[in-house]
């Protein structure tokens, strides 16, 4: 999967949306597609979008599946406008997924506002996230980008609440399958929202797992992928890795480090065994040191999330409760 550094290259829909909108389809399929996207979404004209983006001039992201432009609608609403590029894939899963995703609404999920479609142009319109993606604020060289502990903790809680919603609180259970900093977008107040459901899979409520081919990003993948039978715990594993990145300011795989320190998870476990976790915690902001006990407790919680045995991982709702009630101190994890 291709992603830009600011996270806008892969917003709410991805391969499936691009594939079907780029392919010819039967009349019945197109009528069904129109019925799906004519609900809570706005149907824009191409001239409206061209005007809102100043003829698609302010590029804010892009990748192999399209280019993202900053836009302003007539009412002053700022948006991210994605011009889609052609690719080929099946229609059935796409239709099922759109039917689900168009109806999921949560404060911690990026909102799809509308669309434009004709034989030549396919465009999707999303809410604009001014602070861009979490990786910009996590893997920084400029200390001015470093987040204080209060904001980091809020971001972590936002992410887990978004996951809790798609894992069971919405009508159709969804496993995201590509949770990573590039797919976490931030608004003006550093509220976090999950984006890019392009690799996601739907799980029926009477089932606990789904069979699928390996997908996602190296470093964030659970061992479940070895058997191709994926549960929502795959997202919990990825979430745990993301939080370790937020706490340490280090990438999950950093090949600029010595061979023994390339893998963040192995490094965290090693430092934990040595009782030297403070060695790898991002202490650029002074308040992180002031909350060091909470920081260490959160590391313990995330190590529980990345347990290689998915049956021993916590549920996403358990993680929400521990974070909301600040009961992380009760979590004990062996390194």
Strand locations in the chain (E): 42-43, 59-63, 66-72, 78-84, 112-117, 122-127, 132-133, 173-175, 184-186, 192-194, 201-203, 210-211, 229-230
Question: Do 65 and 87 touch, CB atoms closer than 8 A?
Answer: yes
User: How far is CA 183 from each of CA 63, 200, 321, rounded to the nearest angstrom?
Assistant: 13, 12, 23
CA torsion sign for 326, 309, 178, 113 is negative
Expressed in angstroms, the distance from the first to the final Cα of the chain is 32
φ, ψ of residue 186 to 5 degrees: the values are: -120, 140
Binding site members: 82
Binding site members for ATP: 82
Whether 148 is a known active-site residue: answer no
Pairing of strands 42-43, 112-117: parallel
Angle, to 10 degrees, between the axis of helix 149-164 and the axis of helix 292-305? 30
Contacts of 273 (CB under 8 A, 6+ apart): 335
Among residues 75, 99, 169, 178, the one annotated as catalytic is 178
* DSSP assignment letter at 40: S
Q: Which of 173, 166, 129, 162 is nearest to 10 (CA)?
A: 129
Q: For residues 238 and 305, what is the distance between their CA atoms, to the nearest angstrom?
A: 8
φ, ψ of residue 261 to 5 degrees: the values are: -115, 10
The 3-class secondary structure across 217-279, one letter per residue, is CCCCCCHHHHCCEECCHHHHHHHHHHHHHHHHCCCCECCCCCHHHCEHHHHHHHHHHCCCHHH
The residues that are catalytic are 178
């Amino acid at each position: 999967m291709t992603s830009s550094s600011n996270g806008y290259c892969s917003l709410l829909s991805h391969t499936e949306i691009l594939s079907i909108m780029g392919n010819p389809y039967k009349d019945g399929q197109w009528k069904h597609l129109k019925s799906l996207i004519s609900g809570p979404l706005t149907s824009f004209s191409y001239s409206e979008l061209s005007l809102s983006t100043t003829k698609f001039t302010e590029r804010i992201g892009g990748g192999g599946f399209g280019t993202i432009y900053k836009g302003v609608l007539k009412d002053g609403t700022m948006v991210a406008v994605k011009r889609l590029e052609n690719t080929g894939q099946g229609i059935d899963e796409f239709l099922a997924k759109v039917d689900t995703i168009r109806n999921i609404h949560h404060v911690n999920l990026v909102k799809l506002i509308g669309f434009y479609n004709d034989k030549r142009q396919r465009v999707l319109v999303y809410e604009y996230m001014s602070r861009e993606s979490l990786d910009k604020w996590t893997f920084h060289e400029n200390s001015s980008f470093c987040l204080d502990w209060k904001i980091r903790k809020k971001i972590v809680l936002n992410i887990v609440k978004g996951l809790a919603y798609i894992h069971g609180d919405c009508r159709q259970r969804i496993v995201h399958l590509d949770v990573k900093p590039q797919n976490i977008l931030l608004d003006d107040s550093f509220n976090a929202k999950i984006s890019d459901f392009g690799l996601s899979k739907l799980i029926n409520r009477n089932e606990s797992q789904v069979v699928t081919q390996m997908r996602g990003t190296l470093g964030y993948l659970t061992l479940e992928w070895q058997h191709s039978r994926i549960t929502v715990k795959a997202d919990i594993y990825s979430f745990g890795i993301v939080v370790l990145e937020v706490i340490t300011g280090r990438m999950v795989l950093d090949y600029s480090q010595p061979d023994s320190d390339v893998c963040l998870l192995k490094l965290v476990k090693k430092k934990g065994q040595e009782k030297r976790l403070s060695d790898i915690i991002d202490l650029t902001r002074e308040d992180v040191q002031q909350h060091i006990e909470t920081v260490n407790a959160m590391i313990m919680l995330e190590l529980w999330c990345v347990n290689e045995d998915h049956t021993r991982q916590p549920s996403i709702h358990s993680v929400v409760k521990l974070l909301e009630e600040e009961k992380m101190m009760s979590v004990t994890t062996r390194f």
